[in-house]
């Protein structure tokens, strides 16, 4: 690939990481050393050499991140959908109750913190007390906490 083509690819690219990698290859192509390029981009020269090698083998496509496998989820998609259907809009569900439901429906035990992560990933948000509850009398505050603490609802953004 010619330097002019690299410059054009740089202009078109929207991913910042890929743009940086194109710059590495471009500057190397203009005769700069990997040490100089690393200093300019505040990265080790070994990183510059790594991306030069990937570019040499795969071209521009080699400068993109490859998919990572990661740890497979314990909860199957079918179980997840079944649990979401049972929850409806999520209103009134507490984290502990959702955790128990997941364990009963899918046989998977998650920590409460992970259930919170799942709920956010599914588009649910915790119900937060309004300011009027902060200055409410003790009886009113206790009533709110009994009905709403750790309760969830489906976010308007989800969908």
pLDDT tens per residue, range 118-134: 998 888 887 765 655 55
pLDDT in tens, 84-100: 888 888 777 888 899 99
Paired with 91 in beta bridges are 152
Query: Do both 81 and 14 map to the same domain?
Result: no
Structural domain includes residue 70: no
CA angle 87, 93, 96 (to 5 degrees): 115
Query: How many CA atoms does the CB half-sphere of 90 hold within 13 Å?
Result: 22
The two three-digit tokens of residue 44, written as one number: 């080790």
What is the total count of domains within the chain? 2
Q: What is the pLDDT of residue 159?
A: 47
Range of the domain at 89: 77-154
> Which one is predicted more confidently, 115 or 150?
115
Structural domain includes residue 124: yes
Structural domain includes residue 26: yes
Query: Do both 81 and 146 map to the same domain?
Result: yes
**82 three-state secondary structure:** helix
Query: Do both 57 and 81 map to the same domain?
Result: no
pLDDT in tens, 36-63: 999 999 999 999 999 999 999 999 999 9
- Per the CB < 8 A criterion, the answer to whether 76 and 67 are in contact is no
């Amino acid at each position: 690939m010619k330097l002019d083509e690299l410059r054009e690819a740089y202009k078109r690219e929207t991913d910042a990481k890929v743009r940086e990698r194109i710059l590495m290859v471009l500057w190397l192509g203009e005769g700069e050393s990997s040490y100089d390029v690393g200093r300019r981009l505040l990265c080790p020269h070994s990183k510059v050499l790594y991306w030069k090698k990937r570019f040499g083998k795969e071209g521009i496509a080699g400068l993109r991140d490859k998919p990572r496998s990661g740890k497979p989820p314990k909860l199957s998609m079918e179980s997840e959908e079944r649990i979401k259907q049972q929850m409806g809009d999520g209103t009134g569900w507490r984290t502990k109750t959702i955790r128990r439901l997941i364990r009963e429906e899918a046989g998977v035990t998650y920590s409460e913190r992970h259930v919170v992560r799942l709920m956010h990933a599914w588009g649910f948000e915790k119900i937060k007390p309004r300011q009027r509850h902060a200055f409410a009398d003790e009886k009113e505050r206790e009533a709110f906490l009994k009905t709403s603490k750790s309760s969830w609802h489906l976010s308007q953004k989800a969908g």
